[in-house]
Structure 1
Amino acid sequence: MNENLEKEYILSSRKRRIAAFLIDHFTFTFLIVGIVFLSLGTDFMDENNFNNLTSKMLPTMLIGFLIYFAKDSIKGISPGKWVMGIMVRNENNSNEVPSFGKLLIRNLFLIIWPVEFIVLASSQEKKRLGDKTTKAIVVKNPNKPEKLPRILALIGTGIAFFTFTFLFAGSAMKNSDAYKVAVSKIEQNEEIILETGGITGYGMMPTGNVNISNGNGQAQLEIKVLGYKRDLNVSVYLTKEPNGEWKLIELNK
């Protein structure tokens, strides 16, 4: 590395690079999971054919992974690098961003991320294999934005991830045939109607799980039943045979 480069740019610390990687991994994993969920729709829990699920997931996952590995393509700065105030530059010309192809190849090495971490930790040049292969460096961004916007962006991403996961999981659960059968059985239960004084509705988000394998299904749901007199938490256990309907096995309140 020439002396002019060191005077013009300061190499990023390993800690900043690792922090940027973790932020990117979280952000793009959230993006990929969100895209996959949206492509499946909220009725995916009732899909019995695994091949149908795969055919829906595969194209969106491929697009998601392409975006993941091309994360530095805008001025050599990914979301994580923007937050941490660092950027990727060409080793031989620090004012130049590596080509899209080089940035893509560089990030493909993250598939073997444990090896990349070891190489980065032991390299005196603070480089991982992807950097060495594409002749890239990671330096501090002299024009990094103020600290507050970067912190708010990070917090906002975390809130968006958990909110989306919570709302989508709840919607998918409520849209499942198992939940619909469970609600039907609850509304036919005289004891529940008596204790609640009449059912007025149900909690926003049921909890539990719905599993279907080779047509056989099991569902364990916790549903909050809203009533005129009082609310009840009801546990419902259902099973399903291939090509059959969900059947109530147990209902507790």
Structure 2
Amino acid sequence: AIGMLLVVIGHITGVVVESVMHKENLARSMVTGFKQAPASTPKATARPLVAALMLLAMLGFGGWWFTYAIDRTIDNQNWHIKLETGIGEEPHVKFVGKQLADNKLWRDECGACHAVFYPALLPTRSWQKIMTEQDKHFGSDLGFDAVTTEAILKFMVDNAAEKHVVEAAFKIEQSIPAGVTPLRVTETPYWLNKHREIAASDWANPLVQSKSNCAACHADADDGTFEDGAMHIPKAPAKVASAPISAPPAAASKP
């Protein structure tokens, strides 16, 4: 981001300097398409109709993409939710980020009860505390044997937040005070600050339901990369209005 900012500043500075040196408004030339030139220079022919059509096409496609296509699936151009499970269909644009180290034992054991949280989301001391206090695992007892515990903990330590394998890991690790050992990702200062503007209605969305449901908004949550390009807050499904129940017809009285 800093590099991009420097490029922008350099570009603007260059335009200003060149405009002063050549005594010509280069910014205006970028808009009009014309620059100062000797009288003998052939004049370009303006094509306003072509320019207008290109502009309309660009605006039309942009409007269609950001208001319609980006939230649709490729099969029938509509966003679905399975009401019985509360799980939406996967967006048609699959984000593929950095390939991180994986571990089948960790994924099988931890994923048997809840969505897996990649080790990069917490520091080493947090994972060590979680694995040491297995009998206090948020009201459950993990019950791992020594071999399983050692194997899973090694994977966690090798890929913990201090390793900075992804941007989110670096920012999470930097935000946690040295004497603090969080046991939940959602308790880390970086997570709290990053999600501070999420509306209560988004958390109540049946496609989200919980702050620990990272995959609801992060397409790469299972991979652990948490790139900005893979983040999208889903829209809540439209509520189906129930038909009014009419009263049963009155029984006919006997003559």
TM over 0.5: no
Structure with greater strand share of residues:
1
Q: TM-score, normalised by structure 1?
A: 0.25
Q: Mark the structure with the bigger radius of gyration.
A: 2
Q: TM-score, normalised by structure 2?
A: 0.24
